[in-house]
């Protein structure tokens, strides 16, 4: 239980209404009951804001007209929400203990207060910083270094000689440092595997989603710069460089040797081709295919929206008609002359 | 060995031909030999039906004209096939034993006849129902509940406080309850992680494919309703709600807070954007991008089909020509006036 | 350290320049320093070739004009690169030891010089060939056979009765032999799971990427033929047949019962629909949707490239205008008559 006054001062917001009320938990506008604090960060939900049973809400000045309960006014309620949620977070916390069933090479160097869960496997010469958490059944191969306060969830595979910074989160079943897809084709069509000798370097404060794969570089390293956020089931190919604070949503493929700049937002289900550069502050819409370098910041799209079957068929057919239409216009032009 | 008569009565079908023959195993039309039972569930294979060496086939009345062997006539041969296959299924069955190398917290509560394979890790206060199977190296975090007769294959990660119903199947290397992709952006472009406090609730009789990831909700829960079927490598983001008996094919991304209704079919490689509602009985074609809510049941498409390179280039070029064509038509219209 | 002369003779190339120099390591053109050998396999990097600080480079005759350092002239420098890289590869090599924390069924048959890492789980009646490597926390279910010299990385799940050839590489967290997505729909919309009784047969010299899933066949087998290369996060559905030396890039979905021929190249983020045949020597561009059988070898595309938001909006709008344009042209044609 926190008073609204306490919460508002922690968030740097201004209370409209009764600041003495006590808040028991956080809830969404539609699910909230008395004693809850809620929030509105999207104009889509203004109607819900006007009808919520929450005892208080986190909103911007602009949303105040729609508010019928106590409010904390903030310039960025979404950011404030994160802080309130941390107060109410009941997720299990690291114990600082090494489980007796973890398998740790004698040459591994462990920092202070490290948590290693059951059946995790830590290879030779691995270096693990202070307050690191390593989940059950995760495997860390030889020579890999993991910075302070980094969290590695369950069933993660981290290959050899990988470098992971501090305060990173690597989610379940992701793979860091698997071989890049490098093969040389012989004249008979057969493939010879190209050894993948580079590393993956993940800088500080990076989040890697569940089931995501990050290939090691072929010769140089694959690099994910600090503050970036990668969602689930993303494929980062060898020698890709991801800039600072760039976010990439789920099921996106970034092909080999491509560089993505800082502060980019890449929508889910996107395809970024190989050997291109995407400049800082680029936004790519979901389900888009980026086939060329992008040199000007801005928003880029390539996805058509689903239409009812018949309408879609007509849509495709229309395009096919253009050549005939063109011929008819040419014919008309002749006749008029 | 089962007699055709026995099989037909079990399936509720009518035999055309010799019901006394013995069936040794099941095979496809093209691979079948004498003693096999086969099936035809797709008009594409009617030619194969007419040429099969199977001793019997499961077909509809309509396919009988193409049949040159003994037949069991059924209204839904695909459904019947499932039943016959169960009879011939030789997959390993749960032993009802807890492997000595499984790691199980003392506070975990296990039902009767539970199978837990080697190196699985069961956290504190986990509750596991009767006849549950948990595969090798799977990890179940604290507080999670798993209903009766649910099967969890190998290397699965199930996070804390997750709710999984009865008679579900969770395939290998999938992740249930990983954090949603929630980050608040500061003015300098840096991200603050939003704690993900909600759960995943999976109702009864749900199947989750291999390598699939289901994010926990941010505040409310992510919900997958009973009878639904999710294929491999699907991303279900935080606070998504999937309706009853809905099927989603592989490598589909469903973005955050989207609701998909009952009895929907979503094709593979599709992208469903966030914060939309898709109504009951919607069919989305493969590789389609759904960017808006769908309020009318029916079939929706957005994918172009691959064409030979030159043809595709021309196809794209055509569209670019329209503006010029439009200008020429305007010019003609003026001249005629 | 190897002399350039030694390297050239090993590669079957001709030295232009000083063949007596010593090479310490391999590096890319832009990162190379004195003592390094580099390479140019892509015309995009000819400028970097002209400016490199490498002591030697692997190039074709054609690139020689851009070269300002010692060179080894080769018909296929990419293939030569693979050989040089093997010389400089420092990745950890299999120890030939069975870790004491591996869990191996007594009925499993192991070849000579097998390496099994900690917490791997090998089921009953598994057969493992000579010199096989099985990574930490990987699970191999009963009856599966693995050929000589095959490498299985960490956290891989291989189901029961699977057949894997010799000299294959199965990367981290992939799943081989999970159930296909087979369900029969009842009249009330509910699904009945179809047992998946077939196997996966992976022939020799196949590479399967990290996080990739390969479904077992429903009745017949899913087959991946020798020499093929599958990248990360690819979904291969039940009863798919992949031909020899075919390469499939990341996040591609191949739906059930489709056959892909030999020597095909399938770009990343592609969708290949079910029940079709793709002939030998087909190339499918990235992010393409293949909805019909392909019977003529060649290159096939279906992806639009991302454009700036406004341009893309206009692009889509243009198509919608065609019907109106068509009407205006018809009108003009009438008037002229």
CB within 8 Å: B154 and C141: yes
CA distances from residue C293 to A166, C224, C269, C274, C276 in whole angstroms, order as listed: 50, 19, 18, 10, 5
Please give the model's pTM, rounded to 2 decimal places.
Answer: 0.93
Output the DSSP codes for C176-231. EEEPP--EEEPTTS-EEEPP----EEE-SS-EE-TT-EEEPPSSS-EEE-TT-EE-
Q: Which residue has the tokens 């049973």?
A: A53
Judged against a pLDDT cut of 90, whether residue B97 lies above it is answered with yes
CB within 8 Å: C232 and A215: yes
Minimal Cβ distance to C247: which of A157, A159, A191:
A191
Minimal Cβ distance to C207: which of A193, A233, A332:
A193
Interface test with A, best of C25, C28, C137 (most A CBs within 10 A): C137
Residue of chain C whose Cα is closest to the Cα of B154? C157
Residue of chain B whose Cα is closest to the Cα of A82? B194
Count interface pairs A-C at CB distance under 8 A. Answer: 238
Output the DSSP codes for A100-117. TT-EE-TT-EE-TT-EE-
Least confident of A94-108, A281-295, C261-275, C306-320: C306-320
Q: Which residue has the tokens 């969890």?
A: B152
Question: Rounded to an integer, what distance in angstroms lies between the CA atom of residue B160 and that of residue B170?
Answer: 16
Question: Rounded to an integer, what distance in angstroms lies between the CA atom of residue B93 and that of residue B106?
Answer: 26
CB within 8 Å: A184 and C78: yes
pLDDT grade, residue A317 (50/70/90)? confident
Minimal Cβ distance to B251: which of C178, C253, C290:
C253
Interface test with B, best of A136, A280, A314 (most B CBs within 10 A): A136
CB within 8 Å: C190 and B85: no
Question: Rounded to an integer, what distance in angstroms lies between the CA atom of residue C293 and that of residue C279?
Answer: 8
Q: Which residues of B touch C142 (CB under 8 A)?
A: 92
Touching B (3+ Cβ pairs <8 A), the chains are A, C
Minimal Cβ distance to B326: which of C159, C304, C321:
C321
Residue of chain B whose Cα is closest to the Cα of A253? B251
CB within 8 Å: A44 and B185: no
C173: left (phi over 0), alpha (psi -120 to 50) or beta: left
Determine the distance in angstroms separating the CA of C309 from the nearest CA of chain A, rounded to an integer: 5
- What tokens were used for A93? 């916390």
CB within 8 Å: B219 and A303: no
Question: Rounded to an integer, what distance in angstroms lies between the CA atom of residue C240 and that of residue A315?
Answer: 32
Minimal Cβ distance to C322: which of A157, A292, A322:
A322
CB within 8 Å: A136 and B121: yes
Judged against a pLDDT cut of 90, whether residue A152 lies above it is answered with yes
Judged against a pLDDT cut of 90, whether residue C111 lies above it is answered with yes
Q: Which residues of C touch B52 (CB under 8 A)?
A: none
Determine the distance in angstroms separating the CA of B257 from the nearest CA of chain A, rounded to an integer: 12
Structure confidence at residue A323 (pLDDT): 82
- Give the pLDDT mean for A126-146: 98
Distance between first and last Cα of chain A: 85
CB within 8 Å: B171 and C175: yes
CB within 8 Å: A172 and B159: yes
Q: Which residues of B touch C237 (CB under 8 A)?
A: 250
pLDDT digits (tens, 9 = 90+) for C88-109: 898 999 999 999 999 999 999 9
For residues B199 and B218, the answer to whether their CB atoms sit within 8 Å is no
Determine the distance in angstroms separating the CA of B7 from the nearest CA of chain A, rounded to an integer: 40
> C106: which strand partners?
none
- Give the pLDDT mean for B244-256: 98
Q: Which residues of A touch B159 (CB under 8 A)?
A: 153, 172
pLDDT grade, residue A122 (50/70/90)? very high
Of the candidates B29, B31, B7, B30, the residue with the CA atom closest to the CA atom of residue B18: B7
Judged against a pLDDT cut of 90, whether residue A335 lies above it is answered with no
pLDDT digits (tens, 9 = 90+) for B192-203: 998 999 999 999
Question: Rounded to an integer, what distance in angstroms lies between the CA atom of residue B228 and that of residue B264?
Answer: 9
Q: Which residues of A touch B219 (CB under 8 A)?
A: 26-28, 31, 85
Q: Looking at this predicted complex, what is its ipTM? A: 0.92
Give Dmax (Cα) for chain C.
92
Judged against a pLDDT cut of 90, whether residue B219 lies above it is answered with yes
- Work out the percent of chain B whose per-residue pLDDT is above 90: 87
Question: Rounded to an integer, what distance in angstroms lies between the CA atom of residue B162 and that of residue B184?
Answer: 25
Average pLDDT over chain C reads 95
Judged against a pLDDT cut of 90, whether residue C320 lies above it is answered with no
Q: Annotated catalytic sites of B, by residue? A: 238
pLDDT digits (tens, 9 = 90+) for C130-189: 999 999 999 999 999 999 999 999 999 999 999 999 999 999 999 999 999 999 898 899
pLDDT digits (tens, 9 = 90+) for C220-273: 999 999 999 999 999 999 999 999 999 999 999 999 999 999 999 999 999 999
Judged against a pLDDT cut of 90, whether residue A203 lies above it is answered with yes
Minimal Cβ distance to A309: which of B142, B269, B298:
B298
CB within 8 Å: A184 and C82: yes
CB within 8 Å: A220 and C76: no
CB within 8 Å: A160 and C91: yes
CB within 8 Å: A184 and C227: no
Q: B298: part of which helix (H) or strand (E)? A: strand B298-301
Dihedrals phi, psi of A8, to nearest 5 degrees? -60, -40
Q: Which residues of B touch C270 (CB under 8 A)?
A: 269
- Give the pLDDT mean for C50-61: 97
For residues B145 and B126, the answer to whether their CB atoms sit within 8 Å is yes
- Give the pLDDT mean for A239-255: 98
Residue of chain B whose Cα is closest to the Cα of A41? B184
Minimal Cβ distance to B82: which of C123, C184, C215:
C184
Residue of chain C whose Cα is closest to the Cα of B137? C137
Q: Which residue has the tokens 């009863």?
A: C239
Q: Which residues of B touch C121 (CB under 8 A)?
A: 117-119, 136-137, 154
CB within 8 Å: A169 and B271: no
Q: Which residues of A touch B241 (CB under 8 A)?
A: none
Question: Rounded to an integer, what distance in angstroms lies between the CA atom of residue A235 and that of residue A242?
Answer: 12
Q: Which residue has the tokens 């591994």?
A: A108
Q: Which residues of A touch C153 (CB under 8 A)?
A: 157, 159, 178
Residue of chain B whose Cα is closest to the Cα of A79? B184
Q: Which residues of A touch C94 (CB under 8 A)?
A: none
Residue of chain A whose Cα is closest to the Cα of B331? A333
Structure confidence at residue C38 (pLDDT): 96
pLDDT digits (tens, 9 = 90+) for B268-295: 999 999 999 999 999 999 999 999 999 9
pLDDT digits (tens, 9 = 90+) for B29-82: 999 999 999 999 889 899 999 999 999 999 999 999 999 999 999 999 988 988
Structure confidence at residue C159 (pLDDT): 98
Structure confidence at residue A138 (pLDDT): 98
- Give the pLDDT mean for B316-334: 86
Minimal Cβ distance to B82: which of C192, C237, C270:
C192
For residues B297 and B277, the answer to whether their CB atoms sit within 8 Å is no
CB within 8 Å: A304 and B302: yes
């Amino acid at each position: 239980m926190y008073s609204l006054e306490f919460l508002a001062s922690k968030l740097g917001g201004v209370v409209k209404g009764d600041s003495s009320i006590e808040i028991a938990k956080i809830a969404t506008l539609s699910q909230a009951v008395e004693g809850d604090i809620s929030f509105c960060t999207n104009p889509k939900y203004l109607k819900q804001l006007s009808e919520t049973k929450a005892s208080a809400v986190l909103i911007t000045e602009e949303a105040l007209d729609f508010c019928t309960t106590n409010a904390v006014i903030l310039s960025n309620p979404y950011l404030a929400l994160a802080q309130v949620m941390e107060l109410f977070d009941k997720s299990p916390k690291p114990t600082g203990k090494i489980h007796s069933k973890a398998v740790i090479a004698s040459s591994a160097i462990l920092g202070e207060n490290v948590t290693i869960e059951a059946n995790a496997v830590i290879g030779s010469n691995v270096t693990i910083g202070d307050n690191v958490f390593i989940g059950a059944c995760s495997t860390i191969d030889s020579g890999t270094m993991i910075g302070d306060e980094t969290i590695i969830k369950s069933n993660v595979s981290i290959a050899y000689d990988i470098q992971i910074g501090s305060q990173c989160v690597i989610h379940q079943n992701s793979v860091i440092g698997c071989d890049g897809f490098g093969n040389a084709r012989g004249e008979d069509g057969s493939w010879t595997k190209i050894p993948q000798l580079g590393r993956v370097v993940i800088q500080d404060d990076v989040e890697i989603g569940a089931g995501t794969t990050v290939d090691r570089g072929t010769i140089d390293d694959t690099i994910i710069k600090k503050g970036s956020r990668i969602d689930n089931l993303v494929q980062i190919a060898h020698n890709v460089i991801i800039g600072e604070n760039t976010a990439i949503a789920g099921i996106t493929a970034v092909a080999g040797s491509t560089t993505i700049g800082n502060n980019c937002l890449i929508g889910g289900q996107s395809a970024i081709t190989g050997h291109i550069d995407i400049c800082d502050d680029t936004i790519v819409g979901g389900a888009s295919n980026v086939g060329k370098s992008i040199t000007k910041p801005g928003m880029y799209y390539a996805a058509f929206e689903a239409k009812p079957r018949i309408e879609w068929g007509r849509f495709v057919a229309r395009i096919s008609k253009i050549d005939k239409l063109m011929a008819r216009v040419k014919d008309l032009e002749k006749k008029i002359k």
